[in-house]
Structure 1
Amino acid sequence: MKKAFFYLLLLAMPFYSYAQKDLSEDYKYTVSEPYQVYDAPRKHYFSDGNEILSVKPWKKKMILQKFDVEGLTLNSMKEYEDFPDNCMVEGIKQLQDKFYLFYSSWTGRDTQHEQLFYREINFESGTFVGDAVKLIDIDGKLAGTLASTSGVAAPFAFGFGVTDKFDFLTSLDESKILIQYRRKPEVKSDKNSYDIIGVEVYDLSLNKLWSREYTMPYTERRMNVEDFAVDSDGNGYLMAKVFHDDSNKDKKRRKDEEANYHMELFRLSKGVAEIEITKIDLGEKFINGISLFESVDGYMLCSGFYTNGLNNKLHNADGVYTFKITREGKLIDEKSYEIPLEILNQYVKNRTKKKNERKDKDGKAEFQNMKLRNLVVNGDGSLVLIGEQTFIVVHRSTRYTYVTYHNNDILVTKIDPEGNLAWMKKIPKRQVGKPKMGEVFDTSKTYQGGMSYSHFAANGNHYIVFLDNVKNIDLPLDKIPALHSDGHGGYLTAYKIDDATGAHSKGSILDTREVNDMELYQFNNDRIVKTAEDEFVIEFYKKKKEDVLVKVNILN
């Protein structure tokens, strides 16, 4: 039986919000009264402009909270405990005006079935709609990530489970959702094992449109899945990096000028048993990461960074590329845009500038460790690509080994509807963090804690929001940013970029160590929710088992 607890006494208490003098005239913030904290490994936030819905899965509980945006008051709080003991939350997705929580449940060794359930959330009431519905039932084990059943990161928890067994991709118009999974390989050797990937496509009411399991055409050793996507017609797409041998290396030797791999696009369609494959050929360019997006004109858009084939480090970037794939699998509108030397030489050491100038003569100057984070498809067909320098450093000594995560400069590129480069901007940032106690060491992850950034578009501008070091408030172009260390306070900083012209400005919104006589903690970009064209809200922890909401108004 469902247990819903209404904390009437708490809701009856008035919330008082008050503003403090801000660091920038372009922004004003308002802080709510504190309210009870509910822990969760990951928290989810949605807004309709008037209210905010937060969903906080914790152990066997699900906490649903509703907040009023205007007064920053808590309108309702409901706690559910009618989830199975082995429940592992897989994701929370919005499809137009519908909201769904997905969780998996393993039936045990005797029956060995992996099941995926969903529960619909009514945004207006802040409650689940009815009971859980079983969506997928698979005979056998799925691949995933080891995590604890108590919400504490493995391996320091007492109970374990496997999560991230399902991926959820939505179409541009949010009318379709593709759910993807991978069966756990029966053959342990990746040289001899072929992945079996399942694809199920549903409409926005979660009525199944089609499903199929595909055996990949290459072994695990010779193929890496780069990205998945679904279009508004319910077709699935998979972008794969295919290696030419079993080395699983981008280059066989350091001095090689030809890649040891190529890219292929797999098209997965209803009623078609075979995978339709398109080989991606960008000539002499090495593709550095590739992402799939549905464009407004009905094509699949592929985008990322490239190197010019002469560099030793393929995760660096000489420029940005885009191209389209027709529904028939034909590659069209291939474009590339080199990163100018003047962009590369902003916010770097003089020694680096001189090195870039020498390398630029041979076409070797590059932006190091770039990864595509966001692609914005505007209504007029123009694109805004946002990349970030992300990498890890492994520190070894005779006593111990540890890793640090680094999230540095951001590159924002605008491409107009005709495919021309409109503008390119470099945003300076230096962030470093270490895994917290209890976190799993994973060298494949470069984002951690309160680092990286959040992006949203409003009133014809792009806003890049992140925590920064106070020393960078008035940073000139010829200076290197001071390092921000994750978990040690920081200034909430916003860069505003005009979508039409690329003109940009910077504003420091608040100091997390001094907000209305409070110090705020646990900043995370996932906790930012846009509530209006000139407004966003962030939830912080203030200690003493209390959270607060901070509403930021954009004034100029």
Structure 2
Amino acid sequence: MKKIVLLLLVLTAPFCNYGQKKLSADYSYTVSEPYQVYDSPKKFYLSEKSEILSIKPWKKSVVVLKFDVNTLKLISTKEYEDFPDNYVVEGMKKLQDKYYLFYSSWSGRKTEHEQLFVREINFETGEFTAEATKLIDIDGRLTGPYIASIGFGGFAFGIGVTDKFDFLTSLDESKILVQYRRKPEVKNDKESYDIIGIEVYDKNLKKLWSREYTMPYTERRMDVEDFAVDSDGNGYLLAKVFHDDSNKDKKKRKDEEANYHMELFRLSQGSSEIEKTKIDLGDKFINGISLFESFEGYMICSGFYTNGLNNELHNADGLYTFKITREGKLIDEKSYEIPLEVLNQYVKNRTKKRNERKDEDGKAEFENMSLRDLVISEDGSLMLIGEQTFVVVHYTRNGTYVTYHYNDILVSKIDASGNLAWMKKIPKRQSGKPKMGEVYDTSKTYQGGMSYSYFNTNGNHYIVFLDNVKNIDLELDQIPALHSDGHGGYLTSYKINDGTGAMSKGSILDTREVTDKMEVYQFSNNRIVKTAENQFVLEVYKKSKEDVLIKVDIK
């Protein structure tokens, strides 16, 4: 889940006419000359002053490519082979005017030390500024999700542990919190207590404070939902705390109260104790929650909920927000129900009738809803973006396989006064599964070229994703045709006016015919970078071991 700060800055970039095409009057695009592909499971893209840095770590080296946005020409290529053999990239972070690449390295079974290193990147030169600096050295093992590779028969094979460290930055990008979790010594989660490490640094990566905390509840009784750090360097942890050792989120049909409650843990430099605040939403079951710092100095919690009478905890009846003072007091609690007319858009008639029957008992809900983005504006307004995501298991004579689904999007704006300004449903049907040899994080739902990207410019919000060409002229009472991941698609954009909520749709490009002789592949929303107030760039594969950049201008 991403937290996006909307500062309403105006960026400009000179207009380029070379090789432009357009499908919609609101968009045009330019394609670069092909250049050598450097494949990598993780790719990072940075943009500044009409230039792009692309950082591609793979095996024993890291490649840094620099591009000119105006001409889309490759300026420089730097390859670094001075990384350790067993290094694992943990993340890329921006702290005000500085860019850092973090990676971990395991010392081996003899010494068993987990180490975190960092290298700063000079954007202007497109180079690492110096050799790596060791940031953290931990005696013992850490936990983290496995990355998997798909082999013959569609089976996933674990090939290593990644993302052992999490990185959270403050709203003003002056502080960064590094979080890790020690591998439990006791395998029984009813008896084991998590040990979570917190280290807080300033923008120059000077350590401000660090401490390891033993959690107050067993692994069975507690799930970590989110972390945050404020501009003073205080850490925050949101936890779901269960009332017994039963099967966590599962509840009996007759239950009218959740089997858990939420707690906020405050972690500060001046105290070795965890300051806890219980979060009570009454009869609402929380489905997705996020914590972030506001411009007013409060910490804000927001997410989706289901009513206490419902049985499906992964569905959403509405959304909620509340503020937490620096002293841990809850204020300004608000909830917003999803209207029936929104639920009944782009669905089958039988689904509409079912929703209408459920609505009479207060049970109509948005199925399989997950919180994806939070957009925080300087004026105090907030926008939540949720997406339908679920997995389907298919049984065949030759065995089983799963498909991953990314469907409708719900975009909701809460104004500075705490009122619901508007709520929009965006129709989308996407389905796919990992391909042979493809590497992905097993702790997350497989994404591929599915889901969406978010941009804002000139008072409008843009939701961009690959769609089926059959959905170009979709009406409110029609169901979207399915887009199959990896089979072409139209890059589609929905524009929503921030003030009025008025929504329009446009098609940007056809991946099967970007130019008269070019089809592109390996589209991913993770390969898109915003380069100006009215512009973004995506990198795609064109085969023949070559990539291209596509620059999209928004009118």
TM-score range, shorter chain: over 0.9
Q: Which residue of 1 aligns with 2:94?
A: 94
Counterpart of 2:120 in structure 1: which amino acid?
E
- Give the Cα separation in 1 of the matches to 2:251 and 2:281: 20
Shift of 1:439: 4.9
- Give the Cα separation in 1 of the matches to 2:33 and 2:280: 57
Q: Which residue of 1 aligns with 2:384?
A: 385
Q: Which residue of 2 aligns with 1:63?
A: 63
- Give the Cα separation in 2 of the matches to 1:60 and 1:24: 43
- Pair 1:24–1:17, CA change in 2 (3 A): closer
- Pair 1:252–1:443, CA change in 2 (3 A): farther
Secondary structure at 2:132 match in 1: strand
Does the 8 Å CA contact 1:456/1:464 hold for their aligned counterparts?
yes
Matches within 5 A, 1:69-468: 69-147=69-147, 160-439=159-438, 445-468=444-467
- Give the Cα separation in 2 of the matches to 1:405 and 1:255: 31
Q: Which residue of 2 aligns with 1:469?
A: 468
Q: Deviations over 1:470-525 (max 9, x none)?
A: 00001000000000011111000011111111111110000000011211011111
Shift of 1:446: 2.6
- Give the Cα separation in 2 of the matches to 1:46 and 1:305: 31
- Pair 1:415–1:485, CA change in 2 (3 A): same
- Give the Cα separation in 2 of the matches to 1:147 and 1:263: 30
- Give the Cα separation in 2 of the matches to 1:29 and 1:71: 12
- Pair 1:199–1:248, CA change in 2 (3 A): farther
Shift of 1:108: 1.1
Pick 1 or 2: higher relative contact order, CA cutoff 8 A, min separation 6.
Answer: 2
Secondary structure at 1:206 match in 2: coil
Does the 8 Å CA contact 1:528/1:539 hold for their aligned counterparts?
yes
Counterpart of 1:297 in structure 2: which amino acid?
E
Does the 8 Å CA contact 1:169/1:179 hold for their aligned counterparts?
yes
Shift of 1:343: 0.3
Q: Deviations over 1:183-213 (max 9, x none)?
A: 0011111111100000000011000010000
Shift of 1:399: 2.9
Counterpart of 1:485 in structure 2: which amino acid?
S
Shift of 1:308: 1.2
Q: Which structure 1 residue ranges, 4+ long, deviate > 4 Å from structure 2?
A: 153-157, 439-444
Shift of 1:18: 3.8
Shift of 1:452: 0.4
Secondary structure at 1:360 match in 2: helix
Does the 8 Å CA contact 2:148/2:440 hold for their aligned counterparts?
no
Secondary structure at 1:56 match in 2: strand
Q: Deviations over 1:427-458 (max 9, x none)?
A: 00000011222457977533410100000211
Shift of 1:145: 2.5
Does the 8 Å CA contact 1:467/1:493 hold for their aligned counterparts?
yes
Shift of 1:126: 0.3
Does the 8 Å CA contact 1:322/1:334 hold for their aligned counterparts?
yes
Does the 8 Å CA contact 1:170/1:176 hold for their aligned counterparts?
yes
- Pair 1:475–1:321, CA change in 2 (3 A): same
Q: Which residue of 2 aligns with 1:8?
A: none
Counterpart of 2:201 in structure 1: which amino acid?
Y
Secondary structure at 2:41 match in 1: coil
Count of residue pairs the alignment pairs up:
535
- Give the Cα separation in 2 of the matches to 1:273 and 1:280: 22
Which shows bigger deviation, 540-549 or 438-447?
438-447
Shift of 1:259: 1.0
Matches within 5 A, 1:505-520: 505-516=504-515, 517-520=517-520
- Give the Cα separation in 2 of the matches to 1:433 and 1:255: 36
- Give the Cα separation in 1 of the matches to 2:408 and 2:469: 16
- Pair 1:483–1:282, CA change in 2 (3 A): same
- Pair 1:113–1:280, CA change in 2 (3 A): same
- Give the Cα separation in 2 of the matches to 1:409 and 1:482: 12
Secondary structure at 1:353 match in 2: helix
Does the 8 Å CA contact 1:87/1:103 hold for their aligned counterparts?
yes
Counterpart of 1:175 in structure 2: which amino acid?
S
Secondary structure at 1:169 match in 2: strand
Shift of 1:148: 7.9
- Give the Cα separation in 2 of the matches to 1:382 and 1:89: 35
- Give the Cα separation in 2 of the matches to 1:163 and 1:443: 10
Does the 8 Å CA contact 2:440/2:446 hold for their aligned counterparts?
no
Q: Which residue of 2 aligns with 1:47?
A: 47
Q: Which residue of 2 aligns with 1:7?
A: none
- Give the Cα separation in 2 of the matches to 1:295 and 1:524: 30
Q: Deviations over 1:342-370 (max 9, x none)?
A: 10000000111111111111111100111
- Give the Cα separation in 1 of the matches to 2:453 and 2:49: 18
Q: Deviations over 1:215-236 (max 9, x none)?
A: 0111111111111111111111
- Give the Cα separation in 2 of the matches to 1:156 and 1:280: 40
Secondary structure at 1:130 match in 2: coil
Shift of 1:256: 1.7
- Give the Cα separation in 2 of the matches to 1:232 and 1:482: 46
Does the 8 Å CA contact 2:145/2:442 hold for their aligned counterparts?
no
Counterpart of 2:200 in structure 1: which amino acid?
V
| Backbone CA RMSD of aligned residues | 1.7
Counterpart of 2:299 in structure 1: which amino acid?
M
- Give the Cα separation in 2 of the matches to 1:206 and 1:350: 57
Matches within 5 A, 1:540-551: 540-551=540-551
Unaligned runs of 5+ in 1: 1-15
- Pair 1:425–1:391, CA change in 2 (3 A): same
- Give the Cα separation in 1 of the matches to 2:403 and 2:241: 30
TM-score when normalising by structure 2: 0.94
- Give the Cα separation in 1 of the matches to 2:550 and 2:465: 15
Counterpart of 1:221 in structure 2: which amino acid?
R
Unaligned runs of 5+ in 2: 1-15
Q: Deviations over 1:299-358 (max 9, x none)?
A: 111000011111110110110100011111111110000101110000000111111111
Secondary structure at 2:367 match in 1: coil
Secondary structure at 2:216 match in 1: coil
Shift of 1:144: 1.3
Counterpart of 1:531 in structure 2: which amino acid?
T
Counterpart of 2:121 in structure 1: which amino acid?
I
